[in-house]
Chains A and B, each alone.
Chain A
Amino acid sequence: MRVEAPISNEVAAGLRAGDAVWIHGIIYVARDAAHKRLVDALGRGEALPFDPLGAVIYYMGPSPAKPGQPIGSAGPTTSYRMDPYTPTLLAQGVKGLIGKGSRSEVVKKALCEHQAVYFAAVGGAAALIAKTVQESEIIAYPDLGAEAVLRLKVAGFPAIVVNDAQGGDLYEAARKEWARK
């Protein structure tokens, strides 16, 4: 199904683990070092470099764009490294996270509490995903290079809902369904 970003409360609450979505609109890129800075900024009482209400954060560090490309290869990075920072960002109104791999119990609980959703994109499908990025702009921490915060305009960004706002977990359900013992 088509999902518009920023994501409304109603849409976030209605998504279910296992749903295939195509995201259209504006998403923000931040990974390890940027997460530390974002949360440190909040700790000092400063504003985030983007409006967090309904925002979708994509855990990614692109390869350099070739001339004429809006972005280089742009697949998801592993999400658990962002777990310590995620509840703080969800409390600011962030509604969607995109990465790959399992989240902590604390993050899953925070998703339910704040009615937000964790999506996975297919790790390693980076050239394919880059085709859905129409515009890319650095909006904060340019000194971090591949880890700078970006604003992306995407059309049809492919993702799967892994953790929904009701506690549904695709990774756990998939293991139960497909394990053979």
Chain B
Amino acid sequence: MREIACAEISQTVARLCQEANYYLGEDVVTALRLGLAAEESPLGREVLKQLLDNAEIAGSEQVPLCQDTGLTVLFLDLGQDIHIVDGDLGEALAEGVRRGYGEGYLRKSLVWPPIFGRKNTQDNTPPVVHTEVVPGDRLTITVLPKGAGSENMSRLFMLTPSDGVAGVKRAVLKAVDEAGPNPCPPIIVGVGIGGTAEHVGYLAKRALLREIGRPSADPRLAELEAELLAEIRDLGIGPAGFGGRMTALAVHVEMAPCHIASLPVGVNIQCHSARHKTAVL
């Protein structure tokens, strides 16, 4: 049984919160550069240039890429042979967020309660935590600060089996079309298919963690992703909604088994400030 101390977990989460908010992933930067080369709309190109400049400034000055430094979503892949010691795991994660946001000049964007007089919790806690227990003795922690502009445009569709692939495509396109300029395009579209109403939302969110530009390992899904991306780009929304081709940088689809009577589809929309950082303990 390998031991990991809570203090190490807090320290790691704090560091990841800051790195995710300051440094745009290389995959996103590359996708924005490719998008700039391919964009036909002059206003669209201007937006993409601003976003590349913005990433440069944020990284070199260590300031947040976006003022909305998000609700902190944590993904834990917890090896079953690990023993967490010297504290409470949930509190260690919250402490990491508290310290990361406090010391990193990140905005505190959470309120409690959500109705009945919304009051800021002052330290961006609590995070939303998704834990999967996996074989082995490693702990993988991913921090994904999620802004509300794009999260608010995310959708759940409880389709029926007869809707099939065409129904899934209609649902995804409807979500992106209705979102229009609101979620800060160019977006990354995370899609979950299958599972249950709550699991499909998790699948869609987890799909955002995949490196941009890497298609699904399932060739059927890879084809679906390419078709959806092309159809989304035909919508014409463009960077910042000012018109153009680069409405989305990528579509990532994940599947899970589902009930004989169900076809859940979750669409999690991620703005171009597609921030996530991972560490393995």
Contact A74 B182 (CB under 8 A): no
B209 on the A face (CB < 8 A): no
B221 interface contact, C-beta 8 A: no
A120, closest chain B residue (CB): B240
Contact B240 A60 (CB under 8 A): no
- A169 CB, nearest partner CB in chain B, Å: 11
Instruction: Give the contact-size bracket for chain A.
Output: 35 or more
Cα A18 to Cα B47 with chains together (Å): 13
Chain B binding surface SS class:
loop
A135 and B236 CA atoms in complex are apart in Å by 37
Given A73-B58, A124-B51, A100–B105 Cβ distance below 8 Å?
no
| 8 Å CB interface, B147-189 against A | 148-149, 152, 180-184
CA distance A166 to B51 in the complex (A): 30
A123→B54 contact, CB < 8 A = no
| Chain A min CB distance to B241 (Å) | 5
A63 touches B67 (CB 8 A): yes
Q: Which of B46, B237, B244, B271 contacts A124 (CB 8 A)?
A: B271
A100 touches B107 (CB 8 A): no
A100, B240: Cβ atoms under 8 Å?
yes
Contact of B182 among A63, A100, A127 (CB under 8 A): A100
* Per-position binary interface string of chain B over residues 25-55, scored 1 when its CB falls under 8 Å from any chain A CB and 0 otherwise: 0000000000000001101001100110110
Chain A residues with CB below 8 A from B273, complex form: 124
Inter-subunit contact A60/B67 (CB<8 Å): yes
Asked, given contacts A127-B64, A160-B43, whether A171 binds B57 with beta carbons under 8 Å apart, the answer is: no
Determine if A178 and B236 form an interchain contact, defined as CB atoms under 8 angstroms apart. Answer: yes
Q: Which residues of B contact A146 (CB under 8 A)?
A: 107-109, 120
Residues B241 and A75 in contact, CB atoms below 8 Å apart: no
CB A6 to nearest CB in B, in angstroms, measures: 24
Whether the Cβ atoms of B234 and A180 lie closer than 8 Å is yes
Q: Are B57 and A72 in contact (CB under 8 A)?
A: no
A171 near B54 with CB under 8 A, answer no
Are B65 and A124 touching (Cβ within 8 A)?
yes
B223-246 CB contacts (< 8 Å) to partner A: 234-238, 240-245
Query: In the complex the two chains form, what is the Cα distance from A120 to B11 in whole Å?
Result: 38
Residues of chain A contacted by B68 (CB below 8 angstroms): 61, 75, 77, 126
State how many angstroms separate the Cβ of A130 from the closest Cβ of chain B.
Answer: 7
Q: Is the CB of B51 within 8 A of A122?
A: yes
Additional pairs, 13, CB under 8 Å, beyond known A102-B241, A146-B107: A64-B107, A73-B67, A101-B181, A102-B181, A123-B184, A125-B50, A145-B108, A145-B122, A174-B43, A174-B238, A175-B237, A178-B40, A178-B237
Please, could you name 16 A-B residue pairs with CB atoms under 8 Å apart, sorted by A?
A20-B43, A64-B105, A66-B105, A100-B181, A100-B184, A102-B180, A102-B181, A120-B181, A123-B184, A124-B271, A130-B63, A145-B108, A171-B181, A173-B243, A175-B235, A179-B234
Chain B interface residues toward A at CB < 8 A: 40-41, 43, 46-47, 50-51, 53-54, 57-58, 61, 63-69, 105-109, 118, 120, 122, 148-149, 152, 180-184, 234-238, 240-245, 271-273
